[in-house]
Amino acid sequence: MKRRLAAVMLIAATLSGVAASPGAPAFPSKAYADDGNGNGAGGQADTDNSDVLDALFGGPSKSGPQTAQPGGQDGARRQEEGARPIVGDDYADVLKRWRADGVREVAGFRAEVAPEAFTVGGSKAPLTSAADSKGYGEPVFRWDEGTSEVAFHVRVPQEGLYQVRLDYYPLSDKVIDIQRGIRINGAYPYFQARQFELPKFWKNGAYPFAQDLLGNDVLPDQVMLPGWRSRDVQAPASADDLPLLFRFRAGDNVVALPFVSEPALLGNIAVESAPPLPAYADYRGASGNEAPAYLGAVEAEDIAMKNEPFIRAQADGNPSAVPFSSKRLRLNALGGDSWQVGGQSVTWTFRVPEDGDYRLAFKYKQDPITSDSGTDMPVYRSLRLDGAVPFREALEVAFPYADGWTNRAASGKDGEPYRFRLTKGEHTLTLTADDAPFRETIRAIQDAMQGVNDFVIELKMATGNGQDANRDWDLTDQIPDASERLSRYADLLEKRNAELMALVGKTTDASKSLVISARVLRALAKDPNEIPYKTDQLSGGSNSIMQLLGKTLAKLPNQPLTLDRFYVYSGKALPSAKASFFDRAKSYLSVFFGSFTKDYGKINDNGNDALQVWVNRPRQYVMAMQQLANEDFTKRTGIKVSFSLMPDETKLILANAAGNSPDAALSINTTTPFNLAVRGTLTDLRRFPDFEDVMKRFSPGTMPPYQFDGGTYALPETQDFWVLFYRKDIMDALHLPVPDTMDDVKKLLPELQRYGLNFYDPLAQTGGNKQIWLTSPFIFQHGGELFSEDGGKTAIDGEQAIAGIKEMTDLFTVYNLPLNVPNFYNHFRDGSLPIGISNFTTYIQLTSAAPEISGLWKIAPMPGVKNEDGTVERWAAGTAQTSMIFKNSPKQQQAWELLKWWTSAATQEQFGNRMQTVYGPTFMWNTANLDAFREMAWPADDIKVVREQWKWLKDTPHIPGDYMLERQLSDAWNKIVFNGVNPRRAIEDATILTNRELAKKLEEFGYMKNGAWVKKLQVPELPGAERRDDQ
């Protein structure tokens, strides 16, 4: 029994994991057994997992083959930690263990392996000729997704720690990292080896920046810099800021590099000793003389290159920033929250007039801390000159917290500025975001959260997950060490907080979370028998320990820094970081009086004769739209366009009532076109002769919401998708297949729930109101419809629709899906909900803000219902944004030309890729144009899945009064799930109330009178034959 209990705890802890965050590694569940000496054997994952499952359900134990635990004698200790024995240790832990075993870096060695020695599948790798090597001068290997792995042999003189360096050439300018893995002698030595990056480098397409017609600076396109690069295998969240070390045995070793993403040419690979890095005192001792008096300034936005295209310039409205204008936007600073993730680097060039020692100083500031961004602590950058770290202390150059512009020289802890030895001429300076000083605190928080998580799982097993206030618990009998464990976690947090306070020198937001969490842990430890009534203080509650530490863990690794300029100087004083009092006063007065006349919603000034277009998106989008229209649309057609910000769509209704509506509107909510069209304010786009040709750009299923009574009143601009997200590592560890149908999901649930896991349906995230795009897929997949053919009644009382509604509620009442999931993204990251249905929003979150599980999750088409001919029907909504033309516009044809241009494949592809390169993955563009979507800078496998799902896209049609159907379906769900009402009774009530409202609205709009039809209403339909099988 104890063995079974321990196995349950181990599996649950393994699969739940830590409530991870950017910079907090989560561990994949596929294992490669490692004896702790770097000598592992691939293919051991099944054995490792079967041992745990055998312990849980019976099977071989003593008689079966025994699997080596990672780290030899440390295996038992790490088994208590949950995930690590199965999924691989963190680099910091492995490195400590190696060094404790006496394994050290080997000096003075370098072995270079040429592409001729590479093997693919046991055979010699095919190489390109030297002429096709992009300037490498030797045959190289072209490595794309068609080659899953490249391997080579290398001999080293003695066992020890070595670095690995690769020469590579990017073959794609997509905003997707080149990613590979590395195994030594058949095993991943640690978690970070499963996936490392070979960065692409970028620069601004123009500097000085171009300006729009209002005189404001505009962000330039980002250009990838082609060329061969040489890069050590690195991980931004490693134990330090140095390249990763790998343990090689003396003699022959086999190195395998699995393909993860993005094609590249691969040149020589070197296995080499880590170069020595002197301390500053040694570097300074060998330094030369002070350089002649000199002061040179370099604007931070004038970069040479960066390893992420979305590290961008920004406009700072403080008159102390250089350059500054009180009337125009000037891109006069760099960074902020676009330059905060460990490993992000920026490089500048500068010149010095003579040989000698120079100092470097930076004019910087930081954004104040908020719930989502900013910081209240020092941030750090590693510093390289001409590509090399000059001395060890340059790995962690501190920028103390400052919320206003401040000058600070790169200096040591004693405040003495460093002196850098430079020769006359041009040099490069590289700053890389670095969270190394906080990594021990980060790891302590992770360990405490892992421990609390394990404890909560054990507590639920002991108490049956109940909090009966009338029951007495003797927890000390079931979990004897409960008090000691909670006290130990409190000790850990208090110790790290003391060290964090010593580093920072003040109380910070992170410190408060650590103190409060430790205090709660100590209070619970005093009386363990009260813990079952206070589980929410540990996990689940809004102010629980897991919530507090999780928020801290999400922000602590971030190192946001805004730079205005940097100085290279010797023997001269730095200029003040702040503008004079009179300059500030003059600027503030100018801004104040200008605010009375400035139109802040206006993006450009193309004159009163320009096409007026309102856009319901943030300023970044609208500025990019205006820039693209000026560059392309206006030049090709001669039609001027002025885009304006529209923060609230109700402005459209008010403007139309006042006779002041725009010619067209973009990025409009999917329900707005119907609400305006039914009142006769929009243009029926079918009037244009090339309308049918334009419609071929889109999935047919996306059109019903924009059609009314035979007319089409909008074009889709973007398009959502609902797909299956799953944690591949967890599913593989449990040997569970990816479900294809809802029946497969039901078969999966007992296995998931056995381990305390579950499946997520988006109905669990919406509170009491269940939107129609979440309920309708169940009806459509069972062959039902929402409305009768004439649109006069709802069809949810049909047998097929009832079957769909019953399955929708049975998932929660019979199959025990979670009823309330505030944020699937967080549960998916921590592994408690390793599979579920979600949309584009979750995709962006996982892509941009969950680096710790990058490569460990995938998407698949939404599970559906198999019909009579065996086809799995996956009908789902794709509600997003639209574009439309106002009927009272005198520029109908010009507005139509704009909509055609805007929704074209070329424009959508250019705009989507521009937004992603300039602003990062959070600005991924889910275009509705099928051809353009195929060319987006997304992983090819994900594009394939989304396009497959879009074959089953079926959005909800609108008719007058349809809002009542959404409301009644939601009420029916709540009655069935929460009140136990019979499904047919709930549906009958919903049908009566919906039909009553439909009749009322149809009469209001002149389609019915006294319950009889006056004129026919055409209801949009999507026969199955209209699916785009060529999508």
Q: What is the pLDDT of residue 4?
A: 35
Q: What is the pLDDT of residue 470?
A: 66
Tokens of 385: 């000159």
Task: Provide the residue count of the chain.
Answer: 1031
pLDDT digits (tens, 9 = 90+) for 311-332: 999 999 899 999 998 888 899 9
Q: What is the pLDDT of residue 639?
A: 96
Domain over 285-435+558-581 is classified CATH 3.30.70.260: no
**Dihedral, CA of residue 650, residue 655, residue 656 and residue 658, to nearest 10:** 130
Q: How far is CA 619 from CA 602, 644, 670, 790, 1009, in A?
A: 10, 9, 21, 43, 47
- 978, amino acid identity: F
At which residue do the structure tokens 């007065």 appear?
589
At which residue do the structure tokens 């009491």 appear?
768
pLDDT band at residue 540 under the 50/70/90 scheme: low
- How far is the C-alpha of 557 from the C-alpha of 573, rounded, in Å? 34
The phi and psi torsions of 620 (rounded to 5 degrees) equal: -60, -45
- How far is the C-alpha of 94 from the C-alpha of 257, rounded, in Å? 20
Alpha-carbon dihedral sign for residues 914, 916, 920, 922 = positive
At which residue do the structure tokens 């920033």 appear?
321
780's enclosing H/E stretch is: helix 772-781
- 271, amino acid identity: V
Q: Please check the confidence at residue 53 and state whether its pLDDT lies above 70.
A: no
Nearest to 108 by CA among 282, 275, 283: 275
The end-to-end CA distance of the chain, in Å, is: 54
pLDDT band at residue 353 under the 50/70/90 scheme: very high
Q: What is the DSSP letter of 290?
A: B
Q: What is the pLDDT of residue 285?
A: 82
Percent of the chain whose pLDDT exceeds 70? 88
- How far is the C-alpha of 379 from the C-alpha of 855, rounded, in Å? 28
Which residues make Cβ contacts (< 8 Å) with residue 690, sequence separation at least 6?
Answer: 900
Nearest to 897 by CA among 604, 614, 688, 642: 688
Q: Please check the confidence at residue 1013 and state whether its pLDDT lies above 70.
A: yes
- How far is the C-alpha of 150 from the C-alpha of 245, rounded, in Å? 20
Half-sphere exposure of 177 toward its Cβ, with a 13 Å CA cutoff?
A: 21
Name 966's bridge partners: none
23-32, 238-247, 729-738, 771-780: lowest mean pLDDT where? 23-32
Q: Please check the confidence at residue 6 and state whether its pLDDT lies above 90.
A: no
Q: Give mean pLDDT, residues 105-120.
A: 97
Number of neighbours of residue 466 by Cβ within 10 angstroms: 10
611-719+879-923, which class in CATH?
A: alpha beta
Contact (Cβ atoms closer than 8 angstroms) between residue 1014 and residue 1006:
yes
Tokens of 69: 């635990």
Contact (Cβ atoms closer than 8 angstroms) between residue 311 and residue 339:
yes
pLDDT digits (tens, 9 = 90+) for 386-425: 999 999 999 999 999 999 999 999 999 889 999 999 999 9
Cβ-in-10-Å burial (0-12, 13-18, 19+) of 740 comes to middle
- How far is the C-alpha of 663 from the C-alpha of 681, rounded, in Å? 11
Q: What is the pLDDT of residue 725?
A: 98
Q: Please check the confidence at residue 68 and state whether its pLDDT lies above 50.
A: no
Which residues make Cβ contacts (< 8 Å) with residue 342, sequence separation at least 6?
Answer: 23, 236, 237, 433, 434, 435, 436, 557, 559
Tokens of 628: 């693209």
Q: What is the pLDDT of residue 76?
A: 29
Which residues make Cβ contacts (< 8 Å) with residue 39, sequence separation at least 6?
Answer: 185, 187, 249
Query: How would you classify the pairing of strands 641-645 and 611-615?
Result: parallel
Nearest to 492 by CA among 517, 457, 527: 517
Q: What is the DSSP string of 156-192?
A: ESSSEEEEEEEEEEE---SS--EEE--EETTB-SSGG
**Taking phi first (over 0 means left), then psi (-120 to 50 degrees means alpha), and beta for anything else, what does residue 107 get?**
beta
Contact (Cβ atoms closer than 8 angstroms) between residue 28 and residue 87:
yes
| CATH for the stretch 100-272 | 2.60.120.260
Contact (Cβ atoms closer than 8 angstroms) between residue 311 and residue 346:
yes
Q: What is the pLDDT of residue 606?
A: 67
- How far is the C-alpha of 430 from the C-alpha of 426, rounded, in Å? 14
Q: Please check the confidence at residue 80 and state whether its pLDDT lies above 50.
A: no
Percent of the chain whose pLDDT exceeds 90? 66
Number of neighbours of residue 391 by Cβ within 10 angstroms: 17
The rounded mean pLDDT for the chain is 86
| CA-angle at 969, arms to 770 and 883, nearest 5° | 60
| CA-angle at 274, arms to 269 and 275, nearest 5° | 110
Contact (Cβ atoms closer than 8 angstroms) between residue 959 and residue 948:
no
Q: How far is CA 217 from CA 213, 322, 325, 617, in A?
A: 10, 14, 11, 19
Q: Please check the confidence at residue 20 and state whether its pLDDT lies above 90.
A: no
Q: What is the pLDDT of residue 797?
A: 96
pLDDT digits (tens, 9 = 90+) for 815-841: 999 888 878 998 898 788 999 999 999
Q: Please check the confidence at residue 73 and state whether its pLDDT lies above 70.
A: no
Which superfamily does 723-877+959-1017 belong to? Answer: Periplasmic binding protein-like II (3.40.190.10)
Contact (Cβ atoms closer than 8 angstroms) between residue 480 and residue 518:
no
Tokens of 148: 């899953």
DSSP H stretches of helix in 18-176: 45-57, 74-79, 84-87, 91-100
pLDDT band at residue 867 under the 50/70/90 scheme: very high
Q: How far is CA 54 from CA 81, 83, 985, 1031, in A?
A: 19, 17, 47, 45
Q: Give mean pLDDT, residues 572-601.
A: 81
Q: How far is CA 3 from CA 7, 46, 60, 170, in A?
A: 6, 20, 13, 51
Q: What is the pLDDT of residue 86?
A: 35
Q: Please check the confidence at residue 466 and state whether its pLDDT lies above 60.
A: no
At which residue do the structure tokens 């040709």 appear?
693
pLDDT band at residue 31 under the 50/70/90 scheme: very low
Q: What is the pLDDT of residue 463?
A: 74
Contact (Cβ atoms closer than 8 angstroms) between residue 87 and residue 192:
no
